[in-house]
């Protein structure tokens, strides 16, 4: 007798092909089920890989999706619309482009900084050499060698002029 009951009430198929079958299984209209796909992420697959066209779904995925619907409502989970996805992708592309530009600027600035440090080292070595050659005034009381103030100013200005000439050349 139980075998007769199973025959009279057929079990739904494991796979559904097309919007009509999916809608019939869920007890909704075709347009409603299509809207569920767009807005709520109804799990359907497209065999051709296109955004429109024929669809298939499994009973297990549809049942799981229906079971999860109270969770979606409680947490206000919705699927991103195509326009939002496109704008987000554009923002990511713009961000990556800006990141590349900033990286290139950083490389240029690092090279400029290294060049400036090298010029500073050369200037210090030059000053050190000039100090050793006796361009110092000896203070008789303390025996401390001090670079004359006006020479120091002139030397720094000369170094800056050389640096400016080198920058104009390069």
| Sequence-ordered strand ranges (E) for the chain | 15-17, 56-58, 136-138, 145-147
Fold entry, domain 13-75: Arc Repressor Mutant, subunit A (1.10.10)
The predicted pLDDT at position 38 comes to: 84
Q: Is the pTM of this model over 0.75?
A: no
User: What are the start and end residues of each CATH 1.10.10 domain in the chain?
Assistant: 13-75
- The whole-number pLDDT of residue 15 equals 87
Residue 141: predicted pLDDT: 41
Nearest one of 115, 128, 117, 116 to 155, comparing CA atoms: 128
pLDDT in tens, the chain (170 residues): 455 555 566 666 788 989 999 999 999 999 999 988 888 888 898 887 777 778 999 999 998 888 887 666 655 555 556 666 677 778 888 999 999 999 999 999 999 999 999 999 988 888 888 777 765 444 444 444 444 454 555 666 666 666 566 656 55
pLDDT cut 90: percent of the chain above it: 25
Choose among 12, 39, 14: nearest CA to 27.
12
């Amino acid at each position: 007798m139980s075998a007769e009951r199973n025959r009279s009430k057929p079990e739904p198929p494991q796979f559904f092909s097309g919007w009509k079958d999916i809608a019939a299984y869920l007890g909704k209209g075709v347009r409603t089920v299509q809207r569920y796909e767009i807005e709520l992420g109804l799990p359907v697959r497209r065999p051709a890989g296109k955004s429109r066209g024929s669809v298939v779904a499994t009973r297990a995925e549809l049942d799981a999706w229906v079971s999860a619907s109270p969770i979606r409502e409680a947490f206000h989970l919705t699927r991103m619309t195509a326009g939002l996805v496109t704008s987000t992708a554009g923002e990511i592309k713009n961000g990556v482009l800006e990141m590349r530009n900033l990286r290139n600027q950083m490389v240029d600035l690092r090279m400029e900084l290294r060049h400036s440090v090298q010029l500073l080292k050369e200037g210090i070595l030059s000053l050190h050499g000039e100090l050793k050659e006796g361009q110092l005034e000896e203070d008789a009381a303390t025996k401390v060698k001090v670079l004359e103030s006006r020479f120091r100013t002139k030397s720094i200005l000369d170094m800056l002029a050389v640096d400016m000439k080198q920058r104009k050349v390069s």
